[in-house]
A and B are shown apart, each in its own frame.
Chain A
Amino acid sequence: MVATAQPIETTPEPVKPRTTLQTAAWNVASLLFALGAWQLFSIVLASPFFPGPDRIVSAFIQLATRGDVTGNSLWTHAWVSVQRVLVGFGLGVIVGVPMGLLMGLYPRLYASTRSVIEPFRFIPPIAWIPLAIIFFSGLPRFAFLIFLGAVFPVFTSTLVGVARVEPIHRKVGIVHGASKLWILRHVVIPTVLPDILAGMRVGLGTAWLTIVAAELAGGISTGLGRMMVNYAELLQVPHVIVGMLLIGLIGFLMNEILLAIEKRLFRWRWSVSL
Chain B
Amino acid sequence: MTIAKHADTPTMQRPKVEVDTSHRYGPLLVHEHIKFDVYANEFICICGPSGCGKTTLLDTLAGILKPTRGQVLIDGAPADPKRQSISFVFQEPSTFPWLTVRQNVATGLAIRSAAKAEIDRKVDEIINVVGLRGAEGYYPYQISGGMKQRVAIARAFATDADLILMDEPFVSLDQPTRERMQQEVLDIWRHRKRTVIFVTHNLEEAVFLGDRIIVLSNKPGRVIADIAVRMPRPRDPVSPEFMELRAQCMHLLHPPAR
Write the B68-108 contact mask toward A (1 if CB under 8 angstroms, else 0): 00000000000001111111101011101111000000011
CA A267 to CA B84, docked complex, whole Å: 35
Q: Which of B90, B94, B97, B98 has the most CB of A within 10 A?
A: B98
Let me know if B82 and A177 touch, CB within 8 A: yes
By the criterion CB–CB under 8 Å, are B159 and A268 in contact? no
Is B111 a contact partner of A176 (Cβ separation < 8 A)?
Answer: yes
Complex contacts, B112 vs chain A, CB 8 Å: 176-177
Hey, which chain A residues are within 8 Å of B85, CB to CB? 177
Closest B-chain residue to A266, C-beta based? Answer: B98
A190: contacting residue among B64, B98, B159, CB under 8 A: B98
Beta-carbon contact of A176 and B141 below 8 Å? no
Is B139 close to A, CB under 8 A? yes
Classify the secondary structure of B's interface with A: loop
Q: A268-B98, A270-B141 are in contact. Are A174 and B64 (CB under 8 A)?
A: yes
B141→A268 contact, CB < 8 A: yes
Contact between B90 and A171, CB atoms less than 8 A apart = yes
Q: Per-residue CB proximity of A151-183 to B under 8 Å, as 1/0?
A: 000000000000000001101111111100010
Give the nearest-CB partner of A191 in chain B.
B98
**Contact indicator B86/A177 (Cβ below 8 Å):** yes
Chain A nearest Cβ from B156, distance in angstroms: 9
B213 at interface, CB cutoff 8 A? no
Which residue, of B90, B99, B111, B165, has the highest number of chain A Cβ atoms within 10 A?
Answer: B111
| A269 CB-CB contact with B under 8 Å | yes
Would B96 and A177 count as touching, CB distance under 8 A? no
Question: Given the interface contacts A176-B159, A269-B141, does A187 sit within 8 Å of B96 by beta carbon?
Answer: yes
Q: Are the CB atoms of A176 and B98 closer together than 8 Å? A: no
Known: A268-B141, A269-B141, A270-B141. A178 touches B111 (CB 8 A): yes
Q: Complex Cα distance A102/B87, Å?
A: 29
Interface residues on A, range: 20 to 34
Min distance, Cβ B29 to any Cβ of chain A, angstroms:
25
Q: How far is the CA of A172 from the CA of B94 in the complex (A)?
A: 7
Q: Does B62 contact A (CB under 8 A)?
A: yes
Which residue of chain B has its CB nearest to the CB of A172? B94
Chain B residues with CB below 8 A from A172, complex form: 88, 90, 94, 96, 107
Are A268 and B64 touching (Cβ within 8 A)? no
Q: Which of B64, B98, B139 contacts A175 (CB 8 A)?
A: B64
Range class of the B interface residue count? 20 to 34
Would you give the 0/1 interface string for A12-37, flagging 1 where the beta carbon is closer than 8 Å to chain B? Answer: 00000000000000000000000000
Contacts of B108 in A (CB 8 A): 176
Are B141 and A168 touching (Cβ within 8 A)?
Answer: no
Do B111 and A168 touch (CB < 8 A)? Answer: no
Q: Which residue of B lies closest to A267 (CB)?
A: B139
Q: Which residue, A177, A267, A268, has most C-beta atoms of chain B within 10 A? A: A177
Name B85's closest neighbour in chain A (CB-CB). Answer: A177
Contacts of B88 in A (CB 8 A): 171-172, 175-176
Whole-angstrom distance between the alpha carbons of A270 and B92 in the complex?
20
Give A173 to B84 CA distance when docked, in angstroms. 14
In the complex, what's the smallest C-beta–C-beta distance from A183 to chain B, in angstroms? 9
Interface residues of A in 111-144 (CB under 8 A from B): none
Which chain B residue shows the least CB distance to A174? B64
- Whether the Cβ atoms of B90 and A177 lie closer than 8 Å is no
Give every chain A residue within 8 A of B90 (Cβ-Cβ).
168, 171-172
Question: What residues of chain A lie closer than 8 Å to B84, measured between beta carbons?
Answer: 177
A270 CB → nearest B CB, Å: 6
- Choose among A168, A177, A267, A269 the residue that contacts B94 (Cβ–Cβ < 8 A): A168
How far apart are B185's CB and chain A's nearest CB, in angstroms? Answer: 18
Which residue of the partner chain A has the closest CB to B62? A175
User: Which A residues lie within 8 Å of B99 (CB)?
Assistant: 268
The verdict on A176 contacting B81 (CB below 8 Å), with A168-B92, A169-B94, A171-B90 known, is yes
A-B contact pairs, 20 of them (CB 8 A): A168-B93, A171-B88, A171-B94, A172-B94, A174-B64, A174-B81, A175-B62, A175-B64, A175-B81, A175-B165, A176-B87, A176-B107, A176-B111, A176-B112, A177-B81, A177-B84, A187-B96, A267-B139, A268-B140, A269-B97
The 3 A-B residue pairs whose C-beta atoms are closest, nearest first, are A177-B81, A175-B88, A190-B98
Known: A171-B94, A175-B87, A176-B112. 6 other contacts (CB 8 A): A175-B165, A176-B88, A177-B83, A178-B111, A268-B139, A268-B141
Chain A contact residues, CB within 8 Å of chain B: 168-169, 171-178, 182, 186-187, 190-191, 266-270
